[in-house]
Amino acid sequence: MARNPELEAILQARYELETCEPAQKTERRAKLDALLEAAVAQSGTPGMTPRALIEITAEAYQEFKLARKKAERARLSRLR
């Protein structure tokens, strides 16, 4: 499903943070934080925080993760 590009960027950055090597966490975190801060600034919603955005996008992120894992597993099984 085509979605908002800002949302896609946040979901992608979260996934990259979760799946990266430990030594890459700082940089990946900074990337996600920048996207979240920008989305909060654009939201115009009083009281909105980066962590609230994480909560609001929870279901979208779980769908995103499921799709990515399925795609990765399909790619791996084609290689075998």
Partner 1 sequence: MKRSLRTCESRNGRCNLRCMRNATLEPEAIESPRWQAVGLVLDQNARDLRARRYGCVQEVVSWFKGIDLFREAEFERMVARKPSPLDKRYHKTWLAALIAEGERLLTEIRRAGGLPRNPAGIRLSDVEATVEELCDTQAEWHGSLDTARRAQLFKRLFHGPQS
Note the residues at the interface with partner 1 (CB under 8 A). Answer: 3-4, 6-7, 14, 17-18, 21-26, 28-29, 39, 43, 45, 49-63, 65-66, 69
- Minimum distance, C-beta of residue 42 to partner 1, in the bound complex (Å): 8
- Minimum distance, C-beta of residue 80 to partner 1, in the bound complex (Å): 20
Lookup: tokens for 42: 């654009």
34/69 with CB nearer partner 1: 69
- The burial of 74, by beta-carbon neighbours within 10 Å (0-12 exposed, 13-18 middle, 19 or more buried), is given as exposed
Q: How many CB atoms lie within 10 A of CB 3?
A: 11
